[in-house]
């Protein structure tokens, strides 16, 4: 499959696929004429890259985790999990704050000990 067709199937732009190739993340085969040729396996890898990007991984991190035997793979995954957990904690705190504010009976948030606690 040519790059334009692959990009359309993936819902991304051809320049993105070229960039991924430049970064060594997904390197397609080449035809005798030098045109990029994407196989079903390449498309599967591209979908994995898109999934990895959706959880915040950079291309360098993705390259480091694509293959099980890569050095540092476990630490990249552990770092991303730690970041996700920190985000979850921050979002949970923000939700608790907003739920309290929605029902807070004080005329000013600064007069409410609970609101002030969240600001601390």
**Per-residue pLDDT tens over the stretch 50-87:** 999 999 999 999 999 988 888 899 999 999 999 999 99
Where residue 48 sits, what CATH number does that domain have?
1.10.1660.10
Distances (CA, A) of 38 to 14, 49, 50, 58, 69: 12, 15, 16, 22, 24
Specify the DSSP class assigned to residue 66.
S
CA angle in degrees (0–180, nearest 5) for 23-28-29? 135
**Any domain includes 120:** no
Q: Give the helix/strand (H/E) hosting 36.
A: strand 36-37
**Any domain includes 61:** yes
pLDDT at res. 119: 67
pLDDT at res. 103: 86
What residues make up the domain containing 55? Answer: 3-71
pLDDT band at residue 19 using 50, 70 and 90 as cut-offs: very high
pLDDT at position 120 over 80: no
**Any domain includes 12:** yes
Q: What is the average per-residue pLDDT within 34-62?
A: 95
**Any domain includes 101:** no
Task: Report the C-alpha gap between 76 and 61 in whole angstroms.
Answer: 7
CA angle in degrees (0–180, nearest 5) for 80-120-117? 110
pLDDT at position 34 over 80: yes
């Amino acid at each position: 499959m040519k790059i334009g067709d692959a990009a359309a199937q993936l819902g991304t732009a051809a320049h993105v696929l070229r960039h991924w190739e430049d970064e060594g993340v997904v390197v397609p085969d080449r035809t005798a004429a030098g045109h990029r040729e994407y196989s079903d396996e390449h498309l599967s890898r591209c979908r994995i890259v898109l999934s990895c990007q959706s959880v915040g991984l950079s291309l360098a991190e993705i390259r480091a985790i694509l293959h099980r035997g890569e050095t540092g793979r476990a630490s990249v995954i552990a770092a991303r999990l730690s970041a996700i957990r920190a985000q979850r904690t921050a979002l949970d705190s923000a939700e608790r704050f907003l739920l309290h504010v929605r029902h807070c009976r004080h005329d000013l948030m600064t007069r409410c000990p609970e609101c002030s606690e969240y600001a601390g």
